[in-house]
Structure 1
Amino acid sequence: MAELFHRKIERSSIGFAIAIVAAASVGGIIEIAPLFTIDGTVEEAPDMRVYTPLELAGRNIYVREGCYACHSQMIRTLQDEVERYGPYSLAVESKYDRPMQWGSKRTGPDLARIGGKYSDFWHVAHLMNPRDVVPESNMPAYAYLARTPLNLNDLSQHLAVQQTLGVPYTDEMVENAARDAYGQAVPDTDFASGVSERYGEATQVRAFDGVATQVTEMDALVAYLQVLGRLTTAAYQNTAAPELPPEPVE
């Protein structure tokens, strides 16, 4: 009976087209309908802060290098996940991510709470040659990031695009994006104070790659990794450890 139905509908181009539209509509409604309740499902996080220009640049490098293909940024509510990685991920923690990096593939560990877990030196050594830190790692080396100067010229444009998407960057932040990125990675300059003024005193300002004379892509990526899970304390509010992990040792 089903075979006869398929033969009949496949011989009618109009009927077949209508069936395709109907099937696609059902799937579309299932995906779109939850968006109408998004305001009720995203948690409140009054202390949520935005990425600094340097951290945003690091995030762009993270996406460019395909890190998301092997690392998720979503800790599930399962007990073993929480015990291994920390408090489970909340939707609000990714509210400023375009696109979000939740993912599901874990060739490597989840990175949602990696910020502050290891020192800058550890991250640099790991990115230079992962086997030096984790002998069994199959992660490729990214030593060239330490030799590649970060392009500061287009950071204002990146912030401006995020601003149009609803991320609360001010016009002052957009205008000073290049200076703030430089100041965050080269702390002994006049630009460093502006970073804390615009992004808060908790902003990490230091030479992330260990070299305080230039800003490299390594600086940006390490700055991004060190802030993962630290943009808000919302995930820690209902746990036994309501505070963020301590600042990493440089």
Structure 2
Amino acid sequence: MKHESIEKNIPLMSILVVIVISIGAIIEIFPLFWIDKTIEKVEGIRPYTPLELRGRDIYVREGCYNCHSQMIRPFRDEWERYGHYSLAAESKYDHPFQWASKRTGPDLARVGGKYSSLWHQSHMRKPQSVVPESVMPHYPWLEKSKLEYGNITGRMNALNTAHSIAYGETMYTEDMIANAKADLEAQATPDSNTDGVTTRYGNKVAFDNFDGKAGEITELDALVAYLQMLGTLVDFTNYKDQERY
């Protein structure tokens, strides 16, 4: 066969492989260097509040991304079930992103506001109490574990560095970092003064006793705060193009 001479000639085979990969790189990668912005600017997108950020840390720590994706693909069956397809800008402040690669459970890109905090409390304590067919494990320790946030400013500074490398701009302002601990506590204590949080992060920040208990801020507070903001920042009435899929 004609390809036999290539398959038996290792040096020639290696050269041809390099050529093919190079062609793919030229077509797929090089054009990106001549594009000013690969992520369109979308109104409403903001960085995570300190409480949401710690909730995201817990989400990653517990491996939630192994069973849940946060990326709705632009196909009709996807957006009819989960909502508007995901925009690149929605992952702008994710380091790393939480798109995942499989779904044992539903996609969570639009879960914010879909359920009450009470629902999330029951779901994390015993998933089968609200979704009988669920195979999700129990996470009862989250509501008993005090949230550690003494290093929140260091975490935000580290993200500033990562974001600056990726986008050439910082993720958090000096004012956000200086008030990080106060903002975290205010978001989990709705009867406190929340004006500062709203000023720094906008009016779409949810304030609640997310774990259902007043007083000590727990890991469940942070996790539910994170889940409750997913997919809530963008006004999708400005995006009508999903009808073409």
Give the TM-score normalised by structure 1: 0.83
Q: 1:174 to 1:142 in 2, by over 3 A?
A: same
d(CA) in 2 for partners of 1:219, 1:29:
47
Q: Which residue does 1:152 correspond to in 2?
A: 149
In structure 1, which of residues 162, 179, 184 is the aligned counterpart of residue 182 of structure 2? Answer: 179
1:230 maps to amino acid: T
How far apart are the structure 2 equivalents of 1:25 and 1:148? Answer: 51
Q: Is 2:183–2:196's contact at 8 Å kept on the other side of the alignment?
A: yes
Change (3 A) 1:135 1:205: same
1:6 and 2:7 equivalent? yes
Task: Tell me the SS of whatever aligns to 1:196.
Answer: helix
State the Cα deviation string for residues 52-76 of structure 1 (Å, max 9, x = none): 0110111111111111111111112
Match of 2:171 among 162, 168, 192: 168
> Against the structure 1 CA distance between its residues 37 and 133, is the aligned structure 2 distance closer, same or farther, given a 3 Å change threshold?
farther
Q: CA deviation at 1:226?
A: 0.4
Q: Which residue of 1 aligns with 2:104?
A: 107
Question: How many residues matched?
Answer: 234
- Give runs of aligned pairs for residues 187-202 of structure 1, distance below 5 A: 187-189=190-192, 192-202=194-204
Q: Does the Cα contact within 8 Å between 1:52 and 1:181 map onto a contact in 2? A: yes
Contact 1:87/1:236, CA 8 A, preserved across alignment: no
SS in 2 for 1:83: helix
Structure 2 gap ranges (5+): 164-168
Residue pair 1:115, 1:225 contacting (<8 A) in 2 also: yes
Which sections of structure 1, spanning at least 5 residues, go unmatched?
241-250
CA contact (8 A) 1:50 1:167 kept: no
For the structure 1 residues 21 and 210, does the alpha-carbon distance in structure 2 shift closer, same or farther, using more than 3 Å as the test?
same
The Cα shift of 1:8 comes to: 2.7
Cα 1:121/1:34, change in 2 over 3 Å = farther
1: CA distance between counterparts of 2:142 and 2:171? 29
- The 1-side partners of 2:186 and 2:65 are apart by 28
Q: Taking structure 1 as reference, are residues 221 and 34 closer, same or farther at Cα in structure 2, changes over 3 Å only?
A: farther
* 1:19 Cα deviation from its structure 2 partner: 5.8
Worse overlay, 35-44 or 133-142 = 35-44
How large is the RMSD of aligned CA atoms in angstroms?
Answer: 2.4
More off after superposition, 57-66 vs 116-125: 57-66
Instruction: Determine the structure 1 residue equivalent to 2:130.
Output: 133
* 1:232 aligned residue (225, 231, 234): 234
Aligned partner (choices 206, 212, 233) of residue 214 of structure 2:
212
103-112 or 162-171: bigger deviation: 162-171
The change in CA–CA distance for 1:209 and 1:167 in structure 2 (over 3 A counts) is farther
Residue deviations 1:15-69 (CA, integer Å, cap 9, x gap): 7765665555455555533543664542221332221011011111111111111
Give distance in 2, aligned partners of 1:20 and 1:158.
43
- Deviation of the 1:216 alpha carbon: 0.9
Aligned counterparts, 1:86-105, within 5 A: 86-105=83-102
Please give the alpha-carbon distance, in whole angstroms, between the structure 1 residues aligned to 2:127 and 2:36. 41
Offset from partner CA, 1:146-172 (integer Å, 9 cap, x none): 111111111111111222213431111
Structure 2 residue matching 1:221: 3-state secondary structure:
helix
CA distance in 2, matches of 1:81, 1:23: 34
* Distance in 1 of aligned mates of 2:180 and 2:74: 37
